[in-house]
Amino acid sequence: MGSNKEQIAGINTPTTMNWPKKALMVTPDFFNVEYAINPHMMNEKGELNTIDQKEAHRQWSALKKTFENLGLEILTINGEEGLPDMVFCANQCFPFLKEGQLNIVLSEMHSEQRKPEVPYFKTWAENENIPTHKLGDRPLEGMGDVIWDYSSGKIFGGYGLRTSIDTYPKLETLIDQEIIKFELLDEKFYHLDTCFSPLGNQTVAIVKEAFTDEGLKTISQHFKTVLEIPLEEAINQLACNLCCPNGKDVVIQQGANRTNKLLREHGYTIHEVNTSEFIKSGGSVFCMKMLLH
């Protein structure tokens, strides 16, 4: 893998941002597992996982309430029939600020099954008077692969499994900022948000096994503290698909006990939720919301 820290002429250096005050969520009205586009969607027999719809709604509502209790204003889009993964709304857009105004880059989803989700987010943004941008036909899966570190203003990007590295130059030009990139090779960690989570305070949680040696070196250059999530919890509880919306509180799937102990030791307050029905489709806390300014 080549250098993760390219020098791009004319691209601005990051500046410290405020933590988001809002989040977008998509109702799970049509959430289901109807196809397999990641290893989490099938059971040990190779069959598609079965979803308990009532339990999924309970879990989604409890997650929404948890975010609200942490001070986030939650905006919602209704799920659409035939789009069972639309609930994972970190994927369809990448939000950024331009001259102080929220803008949104619309994704080009890698999987054919998920491409029809994006127009609904375009319509939502237009109704909210949020400018939207389209970069072309190279795969880009929003905040699934392009992640803000709000405390430093840096942006980190994954490529190789869902997002194409070829889309990053256009994105960097649009947002006028360098993106620090990592190659992803393990299908279990198909998005960067499954293995990399900035926590503020120059701290990041990672799944070490998901990164190349070059990637691990780059991470150590950008964070003072690197917390390694146990591989078993990263796979079974999607423990690194957590959300830290303010630099102190962490919302995470219940049962990731070793991860929670590690986070508490470093001063974070843990808020456990149950997203077990959504883990059957390969997503958890981070996937189920899109933080917004």
Active-site positions? Answer: 191, 287
Interatomic CA distance for residues 14 and 92, integer angstroms: 23
User: Looking up tokens 């977008």, which residue turns up?
Assistant: 24
Q: Is the dihedral of CA 198, 203, 207, 208 positive or negative?
A: positive
Cα separation of 97 and 290, whole Å? 14
Spatial contact of 23 and 67, defined as CB atoms under 8 Å apart:
yes
SS3 content of the chain, % helix, strand, coil (to 5): 30, 25, 45
- Location of structure tokens 């659409």: 80
How far is 263 from 100, CA to CA, in rounded Å? 33
- Mapped onto helix, strand or coil, the DSSP state of residue 8 is coil
Which H or E run contains 273?
strand 269-273
Match 């001063």 to its residue by tokens. Answer: 267
| Cα-trace Rg, the chain | 17
